[in-house]
Structure 1
Amino acid sequence: MRRPLFKTRITEMLGIRHPILCGGMGPGVSDANYVAAVVNAGGMGFIVAAGFPDPEAFRAQLRKCRALTSGKGFGVNLYISGQAEATDRLQEQVRILAEEEVLCVETSGGSPEGVLPALREAGIKVLHKVPAVRYARSVARLGVDAVIVVGNDCGGHPGIYGISSMVQAAHAPRAVSIPLAIGGGIGTGSQLAATLMMGADAVLMGSRMLVAEELWIHRDYKDRLVRSDGTESVVVKTGLRQHHRVLNNESAKSVAALDAAGARDFERYRPHVMGTLTTRAYLTGDSRLGMLDYGPSVVFADAVQSVEAIFDEVMDDAQRAMRRMEDLRSET
């Protein structure tokens, strides 16, 4: 494991070695095994609560992660939905997080305002993820501990504005004063160093980590990612204004056709976007069907490796970038 190169507000807040957050990936993908590997390698990961709808199964994941990290702090991803059933489940999850003394949460979707009091009371740090700086300003006023701003390059849900991560990284530090992470298309240490130089406190990586050995997804799919160059990334579900950046497979092409036809009824989309298709693809390695989160940063995922080995490469690259900056300095 590489020595710490940077000390930021987020490394200090979370007690982590490197300013690297590994965002929650799909229901059940970011589980205890993967998140523990991220934490043990010096970053912060988030178990996706939506992947464990049964309360006791969710609690078991938290306890397993704590055991695997020898008691180190770890995070949980909470998706905030406006549906009544989802709200009840969210309240139950927050109660379990408090009982299990989880360190932090990555909230996304709707506003975290409704769960902030309970999370604060439990001493849980809240990092809210947004797709544009305009939302970062709003959530900062709510009193979250940090904000994560993702650009259009991110796999998963980049929002509707199509603003690049490069622009977000330069703009967000001017707009908010709270600790800040930038995500979307990030997979190298030079990007980490550049993002910190622009004023952020950490980066968020997702697609780059899909080849981690500790993820349970099928080796055939990981090998496909290693062979890919990121050009198979496409944004679909634009007709529903639920933009989703995924692998351009058969399901994505069907959804893109619905978008082009002006479809607005979710039932027409349902056969192509069901979560069961995605889970089956990850289990079998057959990636023809399913909404598979896929950002262009997979171009950097050039080998199936442990999380620690990936982090080592990132930090070595960051150190080279810092040296290059020193070499480029004018004598005057």
Structure 2
Amino acid sequence: MKTRITDITGTRYPIVQGGMQWVGRAELASAVSNAGALGILTALTQPSPEALLAEIERCRTMTDQPFAVNLTILPTAQPVPYDAYVEAIATSGVKVVETAGRSPAEFIARFKQAGIKIIHKCTAVRHALSAQRAGVDAVSIDGFEAAGHPGEDDIPGMVLIPAAARALDIPILAAGGMATGQSMAAALALGAEGITMGTRFMLTQEAPIHDAIKLAVVKGTERDTTLIFRALRNTARVFRNGVSQEVNVREKEPGATFEDIKALVAGARGRAALETGDTEAGLVWAGMGIGLMDDIPTCAELVERVVAECRASLARASALTAEGK
């Protein structure tokens, strides 16, 4: 497949792995890239810029295909040396960076100087327009179905994707609920030039998390995610478990603040859940697309299936709308 997204990524297919905390490691990123999509290492999964550089080099020993680095710029409990992470990415030789969270405007010049293409994750058209003005090369537009932080506007992909495509000149990736080739076909029909899949790549054999987590999430339906941090205006979509339900209860109490739920949502607890397989140990991030997932394939099997299903779905739609003779 060839779109403006593949021109940016240098991949065979316009499919991008979402940047997932604790999950975006060399094992997964290299497998995604070897399958013809764009694998992504998550910068802040690594404890330091030096560790990130080592992980980039480790990924290079596992693939000779393009891969990217995600840098999420958000408030954190512990200060993050973002400038140092940006410098590490800029000097690493990586050709694509995915930014998320607040605007990457202050870092764009350094990335451009290093010849790096920038894909910025957005949850609203107004944010995407701002990113375009700042000079990013593409945006990933995340609908309300997405795992992680889908914004505060609650706009699903069926509306958000074409709205972004109509407003922007740069290419867009559709994210949020992207799980199958049918999802990809719909995204392309709505004006996207590729897709970003996070949860779907998390539920693959190569994803470096415990099999018990994968099995629990893949058994979930589209009703088995929940929204947390709504009262704090920092909405996040996660897998429904005891921890997320307790967060829902506590944050709705009168006068509740982040301090009241901080211990429940600590990143260390989420990491422990992914590593030990204890689905009740912490937050597990997942999107509504789990309702469309029923297996744990290899990345190669997944990418080839998605591409084949996409082509078949577009052909079927074309046949349905063909003029009668």
Report if TM-score (shorter chain) is over 0.5: yes
More displaced stretch, 294-303 vs 238-247: 294-303
Query: Which of 102, 106, 129 matches 2:98?
Result: 106
**Amino acid of the structure 2 residue aligned with 1:153:** E
Query: Which of 7, 18, 22 matches 1:12?
Result: 7
Deviations 1:255-294 (A, max 9, x none): 1112322444211111110111111111111111312111
**What is the identity percentage for the equivalent residue pairs of Structure 1 and Structure 2?**
35
Matched, 1:208 2:200: yes
**SS state of the match for residue 305, structure 1?**
coil
Matched, 1:31 2:31: no
- Correspondences of 1:296-315 after superposition (within 5 Å): 296-315=288-307
CA contact (8 A) 2:188 2:194 kept: yes
Give 1:3's aligned residue: none
- What is the CA distance between 1:299 and its match in structure 2? 2.1
Deviations 1:166-190 (A, max 9, x none): 1111111111110111100111111
- What is the CA distance between 1:313 and its match in structure 2? 1.4
Give 1:41's aligned residue: 35
CA-based RMSD: 1.6
Give the distance between the partners of 1:139 and 1:217, measured in 2 at CA: 32
Q: Which runs of 5+ in 1 are unaligned?
A: 1-5
Give the distance between the partners of 2:292 and 2:305, measured in 1 at CA: 11
Matched, 1:66 2:33: no
Give the distance between the partners of 2:165 and 2:190, measured in 1 at CA: 7
**Amino acid of the structure 1 residue aligned with 2:202:** L
- Correspondences of 1:131-170 after superposition (within 5 Å): 131-170=123-162
CA contact (8 A) 1:239 1:258 kept: no
- What is the CA distance between 1:82 and its match in structure 2? 5.7
* Cα pair distance change 1:175/1:205, threshold 3 Å: same
* Cα pair distance change 1:86/1:75, threshold 3 Å: farther
**SS state of the match for residue 178, structure 2?**
coil
Give the distance between the partners of 2:128 and 2:233, measured in 1 at CA: 20
**Amino acid of the structure 2 residue aligned with 1:331:** E
**Amino acid of the structure 2 residue aligned with 1:81:** L
Q: How many residues get paired? A: 324
Matched, 1:319 2:314: no
- What is the CA distance between 1:250 and its match in structure 2? 1.3
Q: Which runs of 5+ in 2 are unaligned?
A: none
Between structures 1 and 2, the one with greater helix share: 1
- What is the CA distance between 1:83 and its match in structure 2? 7.1
Give 2:280's aligned residue: 288
CA contact (8 A) 1:168 1:182 kept: no
Give the distance between the partners of 1:294 and 1:229, measured in 2 at CA: 11
Deviations 1:46-104 (A, max 9, x none): 1111111223221110001112112x3210110113679746x2111121112211111
